[in-house]
């Protein structure tokens, strides 16, 4: 499992991700998750930009508790299966 060590918003629903092994890339969150349930607030661009890194777990999260697993993000960046 790779940890996310940096996350930055790069436009509407896009994030730049840096992993602990130096791999980096952009992901389109709108293409990855349905904006339902815990993810429904992410439809609001202002809320989406509140993404933060959870240093302890190496994942990204939002204030409402929604989070994305680093393995899923790593697969999206590298094209490798999760």
- pTM of the shown model: 0.90
Could you give all domains of the chain from N- to C-terminal order, each with its CATH number?
4-78 (3.30.2020.10)
CA angle 22-80-12, nearest 5°? 70
Structural contact between residues 30 and 40, judged by C-beta atoms closer than 8 angstroms: no
Position 20 scores a pLDDT of 96
Where residue 45 falls (left for φ over 0; alpha for ψ -120 to 50; beta otherwise) is alpha
- Write out pLDDT tens, residues 28-78: 999 999 999 999 999 999 999 999 999 899 999 999 999 999 999 999 999
Inform me whether the pLDDT recorded for 82 exceeds 80: no
């Amino acid at each position: 499992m790779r940890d996310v060590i940096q996350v930055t918003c790069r436009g509407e629903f896009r994030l730049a991700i840096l992993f602990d092994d130096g791999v980096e890339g952009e992901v389109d969150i709108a293409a990855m998750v349905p904006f339902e349930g815990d993810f429904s607030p992410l439809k609001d661009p202002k809320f989406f930009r509140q993404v933060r890194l959870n240093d302890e777990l190496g994942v990204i999260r939002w204030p409402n508790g929604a989070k994305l697993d680093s393995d899923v993000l790593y697969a999206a960046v590298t094209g490798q299966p999760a």
